[in-house]
Structure 1
């Protein structure tokens, strides 16, 4: 429908009659060059061929066995057909014909296409005409579930990149299909509906700590309420994972260096806050904060014989200063004993 000649056009019709005339040559049996001579690569290749063989080899393809399929929405054509059908029912002897709006394309004639803007020679070379019906909710549901390259697979890969496994219930897919059918844009409506529904989910749930997302009917009906609940759950899970990471670091430190460090509750809370604020995982954060502790605590152990050290919030906010004070005080056993037992 985009190459139909425009009516009342002043100037060159670059997308209508001229394009149709050019396509006529292709739709008949003809030899078409594989490369355009205006293409720089084609010119260089022709020059090399001429130097090697004394003549340039012209590569072409024959269009005899090529099937040409053209398609379009033809929205204005529907109005034209409706007007013709109504005019044909005027008169005393005219028998009324009931034609539903979605059946108008079934009554399209060659003359309708010509009046729409197609050249008779062009439309005459398209003898087979098929009307595609609108996709309903059932069609869109099947497209989501069973089509190759389904939108569901695309969203599964997208959420998996955020560490989230997403799954869909059939009831939720039915609701999504019904919403997409109302868009009246075919299968493209699915993408519109999915993007509207999951845009905030991809933004807020990434890095939230959630590893599973089940798309249910309630999520489709009340996406914001479900998202708010999932964000709260995600924050709790993230905090739990970070706390576990801090304790794992302490355990690993003890196994590697023979020195036990214990984070008190205040230190755990502060570590979680810093990990979230600096967007670091707990292992990297602790490795950065306590990179010199194995040497400092080993020195304290040598001076005092202590093997267990309790780290509080001060050690998280200023780890180097905290360690320096411990090392200095390790040379005064009475002072360090009081410090470590506190």
Structure 2
């Protein structure tokens, strides 16, 4: 074996020798197991992926207009009108070009400046949401990742080429479909900031930008990473079978790349530039009074380079658009009119417990106002909802409550509102606990074959204990009747009975009462029938 070969190359050579000799078979995840000598040769027939074919057909027949995409996004995303328009145009231009190249492959030989996109804006304003719904509308595979998890090739961390491999997996291992997908990279501003660190080699900032350059333009990416042993072995297995080999790489020429980030410090930098240019022209006050995130609409290439991006990297992101911060009224509109909003989600959550959940307009406005103070955009809504309703979700499913309305007072004082609601419905909770007693009897009969019933006194005492200890009937019964099955089975053998009543005395002192019943059963044990001599 040559000393110049790597361990992976040596392993590959050994596997190839073994495959040629027919002394090895693959099982499990590898396609097409290699039969041993003399075995019947069967050709593997792969069924075409119907879903992938339908998606490819939609791409071939792409006919959306920018306004149609914008209108579709309006159903899910509130505000961001400029971003929706810019993205709609960029998406239509890109997939119209893809469609034309599919119809006429010669067009791929022409120079085409791909409209990769840079999204700027504070957290929670809908950047990821917009792209997810665009990919859903078109039907192409979509991959999202955070830029901070990547490092320069050869260092610990993920390789940016893994994004293309993930896209391949998302497309059902269909290379033709994967090459028309969308790759979305969030927190891109973090790797720009990292490249400004003085001293040492920056492997997660500038290094990642350089690796992304070739991906965003036009390059071939190997489907199997050099460190992916399973993939390498699978590829060798396919090669050993002969026949037409599968395509082992994906070209990124038609993959659309979108990168995004909050760019907080970039807004400050643009503000200083504008303030400097406004001195002496009477506009200083107007600049100072602006919301910091609004300056992202005025970003220029020089600002991005100064921020820490490589000029070549910025050049590959020709489409740039900033998203606006969301006001309290915007958050209110999200809850009232956006499809699949958080309010509808909570309605479904409570409906799963048989509870009708309603909210007044004043309550929605109160939640929106509190969420706006969180300074996390639409994500603040989830924070407020969880804070207000966490104990409602815990208590109400076991309280027998069938409906409740959330008012402004509920949002302002959730603990007091819940306490009042539970008090008003206390009789309903006892009904729920009574039903749980019946459930315990049914489970006990199913598991043991013995039937237990509870006297009225026993039922009331169990319910009182459950209320006092804030426990379910199941927990109370499992604690008090842990030896019930063992004892009743002894009694059943002695007396040949299968039906028993649990009394109030047994609820109070289960061990002593059960012991008495067992002793009595031995004293009253039915004599065994003697057999004829």
State if a TM-score over 0.5 links the two structures.
yes
Q: What residue is the counterpart of 2:379 in the other structure? A: 188
Deviation at 1:165, TM superposition (A): 3.5
SS at match of 2:357: strand
Q: What residue is the counterpart of 1:280 in the other structure? A: 473
Question: Which is worse superposed, 120-129 or 58-67?
Answer: 58-67
Q: Confirm or deny: 8 A CA contact 2:224 2:248 kept in the other structure.
A: yes
Q: Would the alpha carbon gap of residues 200 and 96 (structure 1) be closer, same or farther in structure 2, given more than 3 Å must change? A: same
Q: Would the alpha carbon gap of residues 67 and 322 (structure 1) be closer, same or farther in structure 2, given more than 3 Å must change? A: closer
Aligned partners of 1:245, 1:120: CA distance in 2, in Å? 68
Q: What residue is the counterpart of 2:219 in the other structure? A: 30
Deviation at 1:141, TM superposition (A): 2.4
Aligned partners of 1:261, 1:15: CA distance in 2, in Å? 68
Q: Could you list the per-position Cα deviations for residues 233-252 of structure 1 after superposition, in whole angstroms to 9, with x for gaps in the alignment?
A: 34332124445888999xxx
Deviation at 1:268, TM superposition (A): 5.0
Deviation at 1:162, TM superposition (A): 4.5
Q: Confirm or deny: 8 A CA contact 2:400 2:431 kept in the other structure.
A: no
Residue 73 of structure 1 pairs with residue 225 of structure 2:
no
Q: Would the alpha carbon gap of residues 322 and 63 (structure 1) be closer, same or farther in structure 2, given more than 3 Å must change? A: closer
Q: Confirm or deny: 8 A CA contact 2:224 2:232 kept in the other structure.
A: no
Aligned partners of 1:131, 1:174: CA distance in 2, in Å? 26
Aligned partners of 2:389, 2:454: CA distance in 1, in Å? 43
Aligned partners of 1:323, 1:161: CA distance in 2, in Å? 45
Aligned residues: 298
Q: Confirm or deny: 8 A CA contact 2:367 2:384 kept in the other structure.
A: yes
User: Highest relative contact order (Cα 8 Å, sep 6+), 1 or 2?
Assistant: 2
Q: What residue is the counterpart of 1:334 in the other structure? A: none
TM-score (ref. length: structure 1): 0.72
Work out which of the residue numbers 39, 43, 47 in structure 1 matches 2:232. Answer: 43
5+ residue gaps, structure 1: 250-259, 300-309, 332-342
RMSD: 3.9
Aligned partners of 2:427, 2:254: CA distance in 1, in Å? 64
Aligned partners of 2:437, 2:238: CA distance in 1, in Å? 69
Q: Could you list the per-position Cα deviations for residues 43-73 of structure 1 after superposition, in whole angstroms to 9, with x for gaps in the alignment?
A: 1221112212289644222222222211111
Residue 96 of structure 1 pairs with residue 283 of structure 2:
yes
Higher Cα Rg: structure 1 or 2? 1
Q: What residue is the counterpart of 1:9 in the other structure? A: 198
Q: Would the alpha carbon gap of residues 275 and 180 (structure 1) be closer, same or farther in structure 2, given more than 3 Å must change? A: closer
5+ residue gaps, structure 2: 1-188, 441-452, 496-500, 525-533
Work out which of the residue numbers 345, 362, 366 in structure 2 matches 1:175. Answer: 366
Q: What residue is the counterpart of 2:345 in the other structure? A: 154
TM-score (ref. length: structure 2): 0.48
Work out which of the residue numbers 259, 270, 285 in structure 1 matches 2:461. Answer: 270
Q: Confirm or deny: 8 A CA contact 1:242 1:281 kept in the other structure.
A: no
Q: Confirm or deny: 8 A CA contact 1:315 1:323 kept in the other structure.
A: no
Question: Which is worse superposed, 15-24 or 60-69?
Answer: 60-69
Deviation at 1:209, TM superposition (A): 2.5
Deviation at 1:26, TM superposition (A): 1.1
